[in-house]
A and B are shown apart, each in its own frame.
Chain A
């Protein structure tokens, strides 16, 4: 029976993709002579698992997932602020004390030029083009974190979270999406990459990765603005390998690893003192917006409900 109690092991739960895992875990193992037991599954599944195991935790670290999940499950985590924290861009520092952002991910549009033809897509507004009706792939903001991020992003870009105008845009958009909702984030970009859909409401990492892998897709940073949200990691409360867990947190936001991430993967670093990947548009060229994380966390349910209403409305006519 192995529940992570053996001294030279570290149990990590992670929903992360190939690039992130490959550039962090082996390096960590080598550096500290620790064996990492990696348990991989979807973000939702991992958090459900963590929640169920909270009385006798198995994992030491959860590595991945957006701030929405973390903020909902604060009680699962051990408080830890890495000494490296101060080297991180201020906006993405560990301010709660519980979870540490290590990369950034922006809400972007993915397009398939073959399917799109000569239709221009540069902004959220372009998505209302009637020619795109039924050809836009989107996740379900009521349960996919990337789709939710898109929702808050477009609200912010279109006038604010409580602006009626912004919500009117959402309604118009989902009318044009015409019920073609994917049940998972990955379906969204996959559908576009496979030529099933023309445009998708996705996020930067997989789209960039697709381009890097030679996929026939393009990345579009909406002109109205892009919100970058951090992916975080945290130490599990009651973890048996506290010491190594802390080392891991320090490790992933260390300059060394951040550098690796930003150059070899399609993830944006949280530090400024590193180089960047060529595939990805430099920060400076993007119209970056900032999310009001506290407000969104608090009103998450309202957003979801409001979206649900819109969905029902678009479906019923």
Chain B
């Protein structure tokens, strides 16, 4: 492949410009609008005071350190678990993979508040499991709160991301390479470390980057179980949304710091993955093998064990949805009352939960496919910029983006009335798409890195135009990657809250908003029922997808 550094006005040039303009309009303009106040005060003009304040006071700067600690630890654990599981899935034949796959995906979606809250009910100081263990076994479980709790929840919530990515990447490894190693006496963990892992590296890095950033920017979990272990995103959130009068200029400065950190890590990841860029022409993708004996036992124990643990809070949630409740308090006895209430209150939210992510996912897939191709095969300043830009919404707290969108599009762009989309479906669709694009982009980029350019050349030699080659050859070959990312985008859009809670109107209320509303109103039973409905809904959408795509394997 020729690597043309100039920007040319061919199909790719145009696509690049369209995407860039979109990002300027829906990212730089609104977010810049909010963040500019971090450098600007009405009294003094340009100022760095907000930044000085942050770095000079340990009360604030410690949160950054804390965030790094939890994010790095969680990333490492998520990486280990996710990779281990993906490896088992790719290498061995065992029963119930389809079910496990769905459960893994379910584990990655967490209903607002209620999801992490289940952990407290299970593992808290008076949690079901904690009490069980201490009463019957006399075992003292470690505290779910603070550092260890945050890491636990992050790990179990984020490993599915690594799993899905790597599961897709295995499809691009040629079986014979693994066999070559095996023939030379290298098997098991050794082969994994010396051959499999290096080959998966682009994907591993992409996945880990996302996990890290997600852990670094998530505030829901640390807010619920941090108990004084103050993380950076919680700080940003509370400064923006403070009930006691936060300082939004200071909050903007924090967001700027978050973005700078995210971009630096992104660049670092880019540099590192260049070292692992090699393409493969996998005509014989890795196939699974039967296992026997002790090995079989361990395969089952590990895979089912991990997955079961990860969905435990969701299962508990389902359980509580059948419990009788009185407001905030769960009573003894079981009934369908919560469901009765839930259905009566859902309104059109189920429809919205389908409709809004549906439009958004179309945008996501389209953009991701183009952006990843531009970033990998047509790398130049513009495309590299687009690539980096696309990561920003991932790290900008959803609340900030919500506020930015409200402020910037309330009266149209620059108050002109152009794109005055507040309150419409469009604003939700766009915000969903922009925020969840990175999942699909990163996995597509990783997939593309592994595809041998000679396949594209072959298509071109057959007279296929760039566009045609792209859609008929490149995209289908990237499919495992695209789908892995799209599923994550889809799941996270379905359970998106922090932006939609600011942008929704009665007509665009989603199930997640409904759940949150019930939590606020103190109806935990109804919230649990709604969460269960959302979960069922998600499973159905996955099953439908499998049916339509004709694959058992969600990552294709």
Contacts and interface: CB of A to CB of B under 8 A. Distances in A.
Instruction: Consider the complex of A and B and state whether they touch directly, i.e. have CB atoms less than 8 Å apart.
Output: yes
Interface of A: 1-3, 15-18, 21, 37-45, 47-49, 52-53, 55-56, 58, 65-66, 68-69, 72, 115, 140-145, 148, 178-184, 186-187, 190-191, 193-197, 206, 209-210, 212-215, 300-301, 304, 308-309, 311-312, 315-316
Contact of A44 (B120, B125, B242, B407): B242
A143 to B, nearest CB: 4
A216 to B, nearest CB: 8
A48 B329 CA distance: 30
A191 to B, nearest CB: 8
Given A37-B505, A206-B328, A18 B522 contact: yes
Closest 4 CB pairs of A and B: A195-B126, A44-B241, A52-B406, A179-B228
A66 B124 CA distance: 31
Interface string B510-552: 0000001101111100000000000000000000000000000
B410 A56 contact: yes
A182 B328 CA distance: 18
A48 B502 contact: yes
**Residue from A47, A66, A115, A191 having most chain B Cβ neighbours under 10 A:** A191
Size bin of chain B's contact surface: 35 or more
Nearest to A72: B245
B399 A45 contact: yes
A66 B242 CA distance: 12
B329 A180 contact: no
Interface of B: 57-59, 117, 120-121, 124-126, 145, 222-224, 226-230, 234, 238-246, 326-329, 331, 399, 402-403, 406-407, 410-411, 415, 420, 422-424, 501-502, 504-507, 516-517, 519-523
A309 B58 CA distance: 10
Contacts of A58: 422-423, 505
Nearest to B113: A186
Contacts of A315: 228
A183 B235 CA distance: 10
A48 B121 contact: no
A139 to B, nearest CB: 9
Contacts of B521: 16-18, 21, 40
A30 B59 CA distance: 51
A293 to B, nearest CB: 14
Contact of A210 (B57, B125, B243, B329): B329
A194 B121 contact: yes
A183 B327 contact: no
B328 A215 contact: yes
B72 to A, nearest CB: 21
Contacts of B58: 312, 316
B409 to A, nearest CB: 10
Contacts of A48: 240-241, 399, 403, 502
Contact of A56 (B244, B402, B422): B422
A180 B228 contact: yes
A37 B506 contact: yes
Contact of B241 (A37, A45, A308): A45
Contacts of A186: 519
A17 B520 contact: yes
Given A53-B406, A312-B58, A193 B244 contact: no
Given A21-B521, A41-B516, A45-B399, A213 B328 contact: yes
Given A1-B424, A311-B59, A142 B406 contact: no
A198 to B, nearest CB: 10
A196 B124 contact: yes
Contacts of B516: 40-41
A69 B420 CA distance: 28
Contact of B227 (A56, A115, A180, A212): A180
Contacts of A206: 328, 522
Contact of B406 (A49, A68, A180): A49
Contact of A52 (B228, B239, B403): B403
Nearest to A308: B59
Contacts of B407: 52
